[in-house]
Structures are given as C-alpha cells and as structure tokens.
Chain A
C-alpha cells in the first residue's frame, strides 16, 4: 500500500514536470499536422415563427445525421459506402428539393420540409419523430458546413399559378410537351425511366443515377420532393440540382407546365388520381394534340398562330 502511494506521488510529480515541459515545448514547436476544424459560425433558421439555432442542433445531428452525412457534413459518414443514392454533401450547399431557381440556395422551409418528408427511393427516412424545433435546429446546423449560407440569400421561391381543371385536352397537350421537351430521352416514352440516355446518367458526384420511373410503384407511389401536383410542377421549374434533371423555368409557360403535370400523373398507371379518372372517362386513350403548324418550337409557334388568327 505504502509502496503504491509512493508510486502515485512520484508519478504525480513526474507528470507535473513533464506537463510543464511539454507546454513549453508546444509553444516553440513548428505548426505541423492537421488543424482542428475552425469553430463553426452560429447559424439560424426561420420557419414561420420558429427560429432554429445551430448550437441546439449539434447533438441531434451527431446522433441521427452524422452516420450518413458525416461529422464534417461532407456526405462521408460511416454508412456512406453502402448507400445509393449517396447522402447529401452539405459542404456544396446543392439541394434537390427546393422552391427556388436552379443554382440558388433553398429556403429554410424547403430544408425543414425535406427532413419531415424524407426522400423516397433513398435511405433518408421520414423524420416524423422530431419536433418542429428539432427540425429547425437541424436546418440551422447543416448551414455551418458551407460558407455560401453566410454570403448568399435563398433564391426567391417560384410562383405557382392556380391549377386549371384536369381535362383530356390538358393531358393531351402535356403529352405533346413531354415529347417536345424531350423528357422521354431520360424518363422513357412510357415514363418507365428507360429512355435512350437513362443508362448513361450520373449525378454531379459522378455516381450513377436513374431517372424517375413514373410507372413503377403502386397507389402509394411518391415523388422525391413532395406528393402534390404543385410539388410536381415545382420540379420542372426548379430542376433537381446536383442531378441530370434540368430546370425548364425559361422554356415552359405556366399553364403548359400544368398540362405536363396532368400528363405525368397518367404515367403513374397504378396510382389513383383525377388525371387517371379523366383519362379513363375518355376511353383510356390520349388523343393526339391538334398541332397547328409543322415542327416549329412550341412557345414560338403558339405566339405566332395566336397573333395571326
């Protein structure tokens, strides 16, 4: 016992001396090796009247998110090698589900909704066990990973006009647009995700990616960024950033986009929808869209015939 006490006493002295020595040395030592990450800036999120704080999201992020998205937010969590599609890399601040134009940051609400909705066809679950405050704090927390959040504002949310009635004409025009805008090149003529370019597609991280298969899935088939018609509308206008799906904001008119939504719903053959009801009532066949003039580009020819007649 006595012996042990003495050892403790000596080791205490030794560690004191050594410790002091090391601190002194550390001050003179050259600056080598990895640096600890710089302290993260405090970020906020605002969703309605809720304010999220990054410091309050840290513990939840480490527990629920870091396994896939990585402690550094770079999408390199310990599960990442086994996941497809790959988890989002927050350091790039590129997001799929936005209400904002291509290339811009999403709104806080967009990110908040994504956490609550989950991402179908991926390993991102529906986080419906989180409280609103938890989700808001996590939205704030993922902003610490990219300097863009400190320098840029979110894009202006796109405006979605009121949806017109579903008619067989709108479905027929939507089909025409699906052909003309060459959606089928990736999504396939029947929307099965098997178009001529489908096999070659990669996301922006060079990982293979499949176009959405509209025909797959049953009555519960979902879209990645929301299930309403307005959510589908949003997709062509915003594009799905970080993937091959471009924005059609500059090349499609608002009502034309609604017609395309109506047609796309009919590609979800196993899903009950008013579009499929209208199609069934019309005999199950989409009539050809009455084309006015030859092959001229859609927007221009319509303006021209409109003015001419």
Chain B
C-alpha cells in the first residue's frame, strides 16, 4: 500500500511538472493568391511505375488542400530549442511508383537515413547537397536500403536523374521540434518547455517565414503562416 502510494507520489513529482510545462505551438499554413497549377507526370517511359497509378500523378512542388491550405511546409523551432542529440530511430525515404514518399523528409543532423526502393526499376538517389557531402548512388530493384546521414543543417534537393520528374527534399535540422503540414495545412510542435522560440516555416517554392512565440507554461499557442503564391 505505502509502496504504491510512494510510487504515485514519485510519479506525481516527476511527471507532473513535465506535463504541466509542456507547451504546444500549433496552427495552420495557408496561401493567398493563385498557385501555379501542378502538371500531370508522364511516366510512360517507365511502364512499371506508370501502371501503379490509375490516373497520372501530379508534380508536388505546390500541394494545396481545401480552404487554401498548403501542404509539405516544414514548421520547426529555428531558435530556442537546439537539441544536440539525434533520435536513435532512422527516418525512411521510400521510392514507390517513381515517386518519393514522403515528398519532404525532415531529420536531425546525424540521424540515420534509410532510402528504400520499392520499385521494379533502378533509381539513383542524388542529394544535391551544398553544405553537406553531395553523393549519388544507384539502387536497383531488390537492393538493400541505402544508409547515410548528414552532419550539417541544410535543405537538400534530392533527385533521381533516371526519372527526371522525381524530386524531393531532405530537410536536415538541428532540432527534433519540427512538423510538416498535412493536407489541411495543420502542424503541431508539442513538448516545448517554457521559453522564447523562433518558429520558422519553410516551403520549397515559397521560401521561409518566421514568428517569435513565448511559451510560459502548459499552454497551446496558436500561430498561422500564410504564404503568397508565386505567379509562376
């Protein structure tokens, strides 16, 4: 009995403050104006991929949702929460149907990256890094995952030269506090201890925006980002 009470007490003293001061920054990313129409991809040169799509898939430079929401925006803490340690879990980048899943993959510096080929065709994975090392590896069907990691923060454009429509991003950050906006434009950055933060939203075509947010305790701060659509 007393042991249980003691453990409850310990739990209360250890866990409660952590929970109590776990602030969250969340919100929505949207756009104004008229975004460029995405084009259907002609995969006829790669029949093994073309047949995986009932209707042609579109390019993914700008992906929008109902109500002018903007997908694939990386929202992250750019100042105030530098985490030194990368999670031990690897992040996975999959090539399927001659597309990158996900289109934008975020990771911590030094975190293990696994690149998987689920297709019946060879791909070459070519991260066009400028700060980090640029490499380029072939991955025929059935070959094991390619493993690598990046040491410095950078937005790295990734492409497959064999299938020129394949284009994605490795977003290498110094923080684990990041969120990539979904179809509804939503993002959420939980588990933030009290402090002053700079929140940055990055979109591959529309650039970056920042907002300063202060978390004082167990609260959810709502912030939204709005990007101006480029005319072309």
Chain A positions within 8 Å of B, measured between CB atoms, are 92, 94, 102-104, 180-182, 185-186, 196-197, 200-202, 204, 239, 241-251, 296-300
Interface of chain B residues 115 through 157 with chain A (CB within 8 A): 121-122, 124-126, 128, 130, 133-144, 146
Give bound CA distance, A30 to B22, whole Å. Answer: 45
Chain B residues closer than 8 Å to A94, beta-carbon distance: 134
Knowing A103-B134, A197-B45, A246-B124, the reply to whether A251 touches B139 (Cβ < 8 A) is yes
Chain B residues closer than 8 Å to A186, beta-carbon distance: 161-162
Q: Is the CB of B122 within 8 A of A182?
A: yes
Give bound CA distance, A302 to B31, whole Å. Answer: 53
Q: Is the CB of B163 within 8 A of A246?
A: no
Knowing A185-B122, A204-B128, A244-B124, the reply to whether A197 touches B138 (Cβ < 8 A) is no
Give bound CA distance, A186 to B144, whole Å. Answer: 23
Q: Is the CB of B140 within 8 A of A251?
A: yes
Knowing A182-B162, A197-B45, A197-B161, the reply to whether A297 touches B141 (Cβ < 8 A) is yes
Q: Is the CB of B142 within 8 A of A197?
A: no
* Closest Cβ–Cβ distance, residue A285 to chain B (whole Å): 26
Q: List 12 A-B contacts (CB under 8 A).
A: A103-B133, A180-B140, A186-B161, A196-B45, A197-B161, A202-B161, A241-B134, A241-B136, A246-B161, A248-B137, A250-B144, A251-B140
Chain B positions within 8 Å of A, measured between CB atoms, are 45, 121-122, 124-126, 128, 130, 133-144, 146, 161-164
Interface residue from A202, A241, A299 paired with B135 (Cβ < 8 Å): A241
Q: Is the CB of A244 within 8 A of B138?
A: no
List the 7 closest A-B pairs by CB distance, nearest first.
A103-B135, A244-B161, A297-B142, A200-B164, A246-B124, A103-B133, A246-B138
Knowing A186-B161, A196-B45, the reply to whether A246 touches B136 (Cβ < 8 A) is yes
- 13 other A-B residue contacts (CB within 8 Å) besides A246-B138, A246-B161, A296-B142: A102-B136, A103-B133, A103-B134, A181-B140, A186-B162, A204-B134, A244-B126, A244-B136, A244-B161, A245-B136, A250-B137, A297-B142, A298-B140
Give bound CA distance, A242 to B125, whole Å. Answer: 13
Chain A residues closer than 8 Å to B141, beta-carbon distance: 297
Knowing A244-B126, A250-B146, the reply to whether A182 touches B161 (Cβ < 8 A) is no
Give bound CA distance, A247 to B126, whole Å. Answer: 10
Nearest A residue to B164, CB-CB: A200
Chain A residues closer than 8 Å to B125, beta-carbon distance: 246
Q: Is the CB of B161 within 8 A of A201?
A: yes
Knowing A250-B143, A250-B146, A300-B142, the reply to whether A185 touches B162 (Cβ < 8 A) is yes
Give bound CA distance, A102 to B127, whole Å. Answer: 11
Chain B residues closer than 8 Å to A245, beta-carbon distance: 136
Nearest B residue to A236, CB-CB: B138
* Closest Cβ–Cβ distance, residue A206 to chain B (whole Å): 9
Give bound CA distance, A92 to B81, whole Å. Answer: 30
Q: Is the CB of B128 within 8 A of A251?
A: no
Chain A residues closer than 8 Å to B146, beta-carbon distance: 250
Nearest B residue to A155, CB-CB: B133
Nearest B residue to A244, CB-CB: B161
* Closest Cβ–Cβ distance, residue A44 to chain B (whole Å): 22
Q: Is the CB of A248 within 8 A of B138?
A: yes
Give bound CA distance, A244 to B141, whole Å. Answer: 18
Chain A residues closer than 8 Å to B136, beta-carbon distance: 102-103, 239, 241, 243-247
Interface residue from B45, B133, B143, B161 paired with A251 (Cβ < 8 Å): B143
